[in-house]
Amino acid sequence: MYDYIIVGAGSAGCVLAARLSEDPGTRVCLLEAGGTNDSALINAPAAVVTIMPRPGRYNWGFETVPQPGLNGRRGYQPRGKGLGGSSAINAMLYVRGQAEDYDAWAELGNSGWSYDDVLPYFIKAENNETHDDSFHGQGGPLNVAELRAPCRINGAYVDACVEQGLPRNPDFNGATQYGASSYQVTQVNGERCSAAKAYLGPNMHRPNLEVVTDVHVTRLLFDGQRCVGVAAQRDGQPVEYRAQAETLVCAGAFGSPQLLMLSGVGPGAHLQDMGIDVRHDASGVGQNLQDHIDIVHGFKARADSDTFGISLGFTMSLARAIFEWRKTRTGILTTPFAECGGFFKSNPELQRPDLQLIMVRALVNDHGRKITASHGFSSHMTLLNPASRGTVRLASTDAFAAPLIDPKFLSDDDDFARFKTGSRFQLDVLQSDALAPWRGEMVFPFDPADEQALEADLRNRADTQYHPVGTCKMGPDADAVVDERLRVRGIENLRVIDASVMPTICRGNTNAPTIMIAEKGADMIREDRR
């Protein structure tokens, strides 16, 4: 018997486990389907390329249902598994989104979630090695660092953005996000700083914190409309964990709605179709899926460009790099691949950016699932505030079966129009003089002036930037799954706390915002218990 059961040790779950167990009188149990993730493949930043492209021990590796907006293709949806969750396999870019994103959450009726309300939680979480001003924190668990070994194309790419009219911006998380520069990364001492490393590592010894790995939660347990814990499977055996105070679902934007629906909390008609008894008809569970659609363009480059690729020289330098990283935690194995970029507008009249660029020091082909042997560099362009809305539904009542993920990418015409504008800008950046010394031939070439060719390229190759959110959204309306204190409506002693509660996707990468949500969630839980 515990006070709190936390389901899922991802970005949010690790924060909650650490914060709630700060009180030695509170017994906390953190349950994670994956393993401990105690591996150099997780710790060495560049090793992410070995994990991200396919399902396995560290990666759920989901796929979407066929997407009409992507010419009927199935999208790929990697998700982290094991301690740290997706923060253990992500690209480590530290981006919070824009102040107005959070003001919009408050305007939707979520009091306590304006930028002024959430900034203290970003700061509380953070230990920024560079920026020390009113936007940033020192002494928090999440270490934010500069790139240790940026590639030689890095500076040229930022210069190319400036050539195309973007200002230099040394801090995307400061006064404005608009502009171009290197990204800061969630790393510490040349290693990945996942939520597990930041929040669990220093606190695993606490006698009131139990962390159980390789346990798959299959459903929530109830006494009437009160959640009393979870049923799970460990080593093929059924187990139960009971919570005296609350159960906190932190299984991510796919896992959280799936677990609620398996437990009879979800859209009544869908649950009945699946043969599941409806405990609470919550129409919003699994609705409102939002994700960042992304297109990659790439150019080959000479082997001495410092980019990753298959060549004799690089294979030898990789061997040296492994040795260097093991000895001093420096060198190219500290790269997250995604190194620099910027935020820009699809229309100069806009008040704030709606598009993002990320330069990668390798050729990215279908999430790295297909190998392009040559040295080269890529650029990702992402639509930050899509209007397209998708769903997560059950494929089966089997808790081990993947859910049906339908992001409905580019189903909104305006999304597609702005995405096109953004990709033209990306191609201009890539064709800039600043990159001329490095640029070889284009991979997947087409004539950008040919409208139809551009549209075909987007429909044929675009896919996620790995930021699904919103499937258990917070709000006061009938479709909201949780209230502004993240309590599941219609059920007692149950909260959802992770990326799924975002009512609208923030304009940036989603790890830091999820950690912020959990920091704030932990405070609300403690306040409500008093």
Ligand X SMILES: Cc1cc2nc3c(=O)[nH]c(=O)nc-3n(C[C@H](O)[C@H](O)[C@H](O)COP(=O)(O)OP(=O)(O)OC[C@H]3O[C@@H](n4cnc5c(N)ncnc54)[C@H](O)[C@@H]3O)c2cc1C
Residues that bind ligand X (CB under 6 A): 7-13, 31-34, 52, 78-81, 85-87, 89-93, 95, 216-217, 250-253, 255, 259, 466-467, 498-499, 509-512, 514
Nearer to ligand X, 51 or 162 (CB): 51
Taken in order 314, 316, 322, 328, is the CA torsion positive or negative? negative
- The rounded Cα 348 to chain-centroid distance in angstroms is 28
Give how far Cα 78 sits from Cα of 11, 219, 227, 407, Å.
Answer: 15, 23, 30, 14
Minimum distance from residue 179 beta carbon to ligand X (Å): 18
CA 392 – CA 405 distance, rounded (Å): 5
Q: How far apart are CA 311 and CA 152, in angstroms?
A: 18
DSSP structure string for 60-99: --EEEEEEGGGTTEEEEE--B-STTGGGGTS--B-----H
CA 315, distance to chain mean position in Å, is 31
What span, in angstroms and rounded, lies between the C-alpha atoms of 210 and 234? 15
Least Cβ distance, residue 94 to ligand X (angstroms):
7
Q: What is the DSSP letter of 88?
A: G
Nearer residue to ligand X within complex by CB, 151 or 454: 151
- Of 391, 363, 464, the C-alpha closest to 76 is 464
- Among 180, 184, 86, 195, smallest CA distance to 140 is for 195
Minimum CB separation of residue 11 from ligand X in Å reads 3
Which position among 136, 367, 380, 467 bears the catalytic label?
467
In the complex, least distance from residue 56 CB atom to ligand X, rounded to whole angstroms = 12
CB 110 within 8 A of CB 484: yes
467 assigned to active site: yes
Cβ nearer to ligand X, comparing 78 with 331: 78
CB of 264 to ligand X, least distance (A): 15
Please tell me the distance from the alpha carbon of residue 10 to that of residue 429, in angstroms, as a whole number.
35
Smaller CB distance to ligand X: residue 89 or 454?
Answer: 89
Complex with ligand X: residue 253 or 265, whichever CB lies closer: 253
Closest CB 348 distance from ligand X, rounded Å: 27
Q: Which is nearer to ligand X, 52 or 410 (CB)?
A: 52
Question: Which residue of the chain is nearest ligand X when measured via CB?
Answer: 10
Query: Do 245 and 4 form a contact (C-beta atoms < 8 A)?
Result: yes
Would residue 275 be called left, alpha or beta, if left means φ above 0 and alpha means ψ between -120 and 50 degrees? left
Residues labelled as active-site residues: 467
